[in-house]
Chains A and B, each alone.
Chain A
Amino acid sequence: MKKLMSGNAALGEAAILSGCMCYFGYPITPQNELTEYMAKRMNELGRVFIQSESEIAAINMVLGASATGARAMTSSSSPGMSLKQEGISYLAADELPAVVVDMVRGGPGMGNISPAQSDYLQATRGGGHGDYKTIVLAPGSVQELTEIVPLAFDLADQYRNPVIILGDGMLGQMMEPVDFDNIKPPKEYPKDYVLTGAEGRPSRMIRSLLFDTKEEEEHNWKLVRKYHRMQQNEIRYETFLIDDAEMVVVAYGIGARIARGAIKRLRQDNIKVGMVRPITAWPFPAPILQELAKTVHEFFVFEMSAGQLIEDVRLALAGQGHIHFYGRPGGVVPTPVELYRIIGRHYYMASGRKQP
């Protein structure tokens, strides 16, 4: 049975069904409904909920809970995500799983509370200090959250690494029909590192401090090998009408959704535009773009930022093809019609044909 739910609430329910045992969060718009949902449901289920004193405290509570083997989650929005970066770096260094949600809003600084996609680079480049990566999942609808959330917990456990769910204010606030039928009971992962008290076994330590530079270097290479495995195995994306496309749009999350509306209109005008929608913003689906670049010359990046995703597209294409760009930073949400006009104009400019 479908239910009309906001993205924030649906995310909370999906986390609960995925076996999230602990949630720690600090209020910030536009993700408060998630914190409020967890406050109610986690208490009902006898699981752990704390409204922490700060985002810094919340991510460190996650670290503590994760060290005991519990599935733990925290959420925030852009300014709060900046504060969480310290803890995310430690989680990555300690190889501890965690799910961290960012419902992105306009920035930098205080910015505003409108939907934005301007935390892309922070999320996909590690975000905090040191050489590390996080898996970044970017859902585009409330229903897709119910697939992304259990996946996030599984990937976090499988790779022992923090996973970021990169949403935006609109995804969090918007209500859509949703069901949770696809969420299976959480898988059990062998966890031989967890701290439970050293009963009947040697004591364990979880730490990231390695004074010996050789040791630290080897730890870094070990992490890098793990990130390579992620790049080999965990790239996820969706394509839309690319078979005959002369121009390929690259967009993610809510941006991709708006682009999809624009592309449908363009197709009505017989303009052959398709789309690649990264579902994992990291690892980035570079291979599909490289494959497409063999036959397609025109790429169009659309994002609700001043230009962040475009860096990954540039890196993927490595000089092949021509990249067009349209960005709306600051919390502005363009309409499908607006994007239809822009893409159409670029299409005609590139093709040398005359715009009717």
Chain B
Amino acid sequence: MKKIYTRPKTMKEAHFHYCPGCGHGIINRLLMEVVEEMGLRDKAICVAPAGCGMLLYNYFDIDTLESAHGRGAAVATGIKRVRPENLVFSYQGDGDLAAIGTAEGFHAANRGEQITVIFVNNGVYGMTGGQMAPTTLTNQVTTTTPNGRDPILAGHPVRICEVFSMLDGTTYLERVAVNKPAAVVKAKKAIKKAFQYQLDGKGFSLVEILSPCPTNWKMGPLESCRWIDDVMTKQFPLGVVKDIP
């Protein structure tokens, strides 16, 4: 019998702690598939965030380092400057990169650090229980915007790829999603390309991944996936935002 689906060798044998329908598990797996396919297990160093993705070192069979909330890009910078031969990437959520760690991400991008940021955008603070994120959509209900996000009181959803695209140090920025098989295939391609750009020394790369959070969106998994297409992509259009080959 032909085996058509198996755990990448770069993943540890463990059960994900993620909620049913969560996108993190898909993204974790995609990253490790890419690391395996590109033969980078021996070279890769991942900086883990604070937030739902923080336990990724329980799943990734590569060297990993935890960072404080928001500091991933600075920590990755420290690693990469000492070890330019390694593949260094940080895994950051929307609160992590677009709120508390914007300065670190922005300036790592502006310096053109040879790192890759995997930016998981699910529009909400997942681990702390569904509070408003910088990427929460206008009128979206969260535990800290019980009447929906009012831009006058709480600002507007932040488009990180577009903001970072203005910085001369960035070389490849793409927004993808993991809400359906075709999108997942594209997401994987984007990750691969970002890693390749880093290995080629082209500069800072970032892949923003729209990811479902059924638990905090108070939706079913299917509905969440549809919501990404129907609502979220209107604010966060998919596609390549910047590509300087």
Which of A's residues lie within 8 Å of B, judged by CB?
Answer: 21-22, 24, 48, 50, 52-54, 56-58, 60-70, 72, 86-87, 90, 94, 195-200, 202-209
- A176–B63 Cα gap in the complex (Å)? 46
The answer to whether A198 and B67 touch across the interface, beta carbons within 8 angstroms, is no
The answer to whether A87 and B82 touch across the interface, beta carbons within 8 angstroms, is no
B215 within 8 A of A: no
Task: Name the one of A65, A204, A205 contacting B78, with C-beta atoms under 8 angstroms.
Answer: A65
Task: Name the one of B44, B54, B74, B79 contacting A209, with C-beta atoms under 8 angstroms.
Answer: B54
Minimal Cβ-Cβ distance residue in B for A87:
B68
Number of interface residues of B (CB under 8 A): 37
Interface of B is mostly: mixed
Which residues in B have their C-beta under 8 angstroms from that of A53? 103-104, 106-107
Minimal Cβ-Cβ distance residue in A for B10:
A203
The answer to whether B78 and A199 touch across the interface, beta carbons within 8 angstroms, is no
B132 within 8 A of A: no
The answer to whether A205 and B42 touch across the interface, beta carbons within 8 angstroms, is no
Which of B's residues lie within 8 Å of A, judged by CB?
Answer: 41-45, 47-48, 54-55, 57, 60-68, 71, 74-83, 86-87, 103-104, 106-107, 111
- A68–B84 Cα gap in the complex (Å)? 11
Task: Name the one of A50, A56, A70 contacting B77, with C-beta atoms under 8 angstroms.
Answer: A50
Minimal Cβ-Cβ distance residue in A for B88:
A64
Minimal Cβ-Cβ distance residue in A for B110:
A53
Task: Name the one of B74, B80, B111 contacting A60, with C-beta atoms under 8 angstroms.
Answer: B74
- A68–B79 Cα gap in the complex (Å)? 6
Which residues in A have their C-beta under 8 angstroms from that of B111? 50
Most A-side CB within 10 Å, residue of B62, B67, B81: B81
Minimal Cβ-Cβ distance residue in A for B40:
A197
Which residues in A have their C-beta under 8 angstroms from that of B54? 209
- A57–B70 Cα gap in the complex (Å)? 10
Known contacts: A60-B67, A64-B47, A209-B54. The answer to whether A72 contacts B78 by CB under 8 A is: yes
The answer to whether B78 and A197 touch across the interface, beta carbons within 8 angstroms, is no
Known contacts: A48-B82, A199-B42. The answer to whether A64 contacts B74 by CB under 8 A is: yes
Which residues in A have their C-beta under 8 angstroms from that of B103? 53-54, 56-57
Which residues in A have their C-beta under 8 angstroms from that of B75? 60-61, 63-64, 67
The answer to whether A205 and B64 touch across the interface, beta carbons within 8 angstroms, is yes
The answer to whether B71 and A57 touch across the interface, beta carbons within 8 angstroms, is yes
Known contacts: A50-B81, A65-B79. The answer to whether A57 contacts B48 by CB under 8 A is: no
Known contacts: A53-B107, A70-B82, A197-B86. The answer to whether A61 contacts B77 by CB under 8 A is: yes
The answer to whether A205 and B82 touch across the interface, beta carbons within 8 angstroms, is no
The answer to whether B48 and A207 touch across the interface, beta carbons within 8 angstroms, is yes
8 cross-chain pairs, A with B, having the tightest CB-CB distances, nearest first: A64-B78, A199-B42, A61-B78, A207-B66, A60-B74, A53-B107, A64-B75, A65-B78
The smallest beta-carbon distance between B117 and chain A, in angstroms, is: 14
- 28 example contacts (A-B, Cβ-Cβ < 8 A) are as follows A24-B78, A50-B77, A50-B81, A53-B106, A53-B107, A54-B104, A56-B104, A57-B71, A57-B74, A57-B107, A61-B81, A64-B75, A64-B77, A65-B79, A67-B65, A67-B78, A67-B79, A94-B66, A195-B63, A196-B86, A197-B42, A197-B83, A202-B61, A203-B60, A203-B61, A205-B64, A206-B64, A206-B65
Minimal Cβ-Cβ distance residue in B for A68:
B82
Most B-side CB within 10 Å, residue of A24, A52, A86: A52
- A205–B111 Cα gap in the complex (Å)? 27
Which residues in B have their C-beta under 8 angstroms from that of A206? 64-66
Minimal Cβ-Cβ distance residue in A for B41:
A198
The smallest beta-carbon distance between A251 and chain B, in angstroms, is: 36
Most A-side CB within 10 Å, residue of B55, B66, B103, B107: B66
- A202–B44 Cα gap in the complex (Å)? 13
Which residues in B have their C-beta under 8 angstroms from that of A48? 81-82
The smallest beta-carbon distance between A46 and chain B, in angstroms, is: 12
The answer to whether B81 and A65 touch across the interface, beta carbons within 8 angstroms, is yes
The smallest beta-carbon distance between A64 and chain B, in angstroms, is: 2
- A190–B55 Cα gap in the complex (Å)? 28
Known contacts: A57-B71, A57-B104. The answer to whether A199 contacts B65 by CB under 8 A is: no
- A87–B65 Cα gap in the complex (Å)? 14
The answer to whether A22 and B81 touch across the interface, beta carbons within 8 angstroms, is yes
- A209–B67 Cα gap in the complex (Å)? 10
The answer to whether A197 and B43 touch across the interface, beta carbons within 8 angstroms, is yes
The smallest beta-carbon distance between B175 and chain A, in angstroms, is: 24
- A197–B60 Cα gap in the complex (Å)? 12
Which residues in B have their C-beta under 8 angstroms from that of A22? 78, 81-82
The answer to whether B107 and A200 touch across the interface, beta carbons within 8 angstroms, is no
Minimal Cβ-Cβ distance residue in A for B66:
A207
Given contacts A61-B77, A64-B79, A90-B68, 9 further A-B contacts (CB under 8 A): A21-B82, A22-B82, A57-B74, A60-B67, A60-B104, A65-B81, A196-B63, A198-B42, A199-B42
Which residues in B have their C-beta under 8 angstroms from that of A21? 82
Which residues in A have their C-beta under 8 angstroms from that of B60? 203
Minimal Cβ-Cβ distance residue in B for A62:
B78
Which residues in A have their C-beta under 8 angstroms from that of B47? 64
Which residues in A have their C-beta under 8 angstroms from that of B107? 52-53, 57
The answer to whether B65 and A60 touch across the interface, beta carbons within 8 angstroms, is no
The answer to whether B82 and A65 touch across the interface, beta carbons within 8 angstroms, is yes
- A67–B67 Cα gap in the complex (Å)? 11
Most A-side CB within 10 Å, residue of B57, B68, B76, B107: B68
- A197–B199 Cα gap in the complex (Å)? 14
The answer to whether B48 and A203 touch across the interface, beta carbons within 8 angstroms, is no
The smallest beta-carbon distance between A177 and chain B, in angstroms, is: 34
Known contacts: A57-B104, A199-B42. The answer to whether A208 contacts B66 by CB under 8 A is: yes
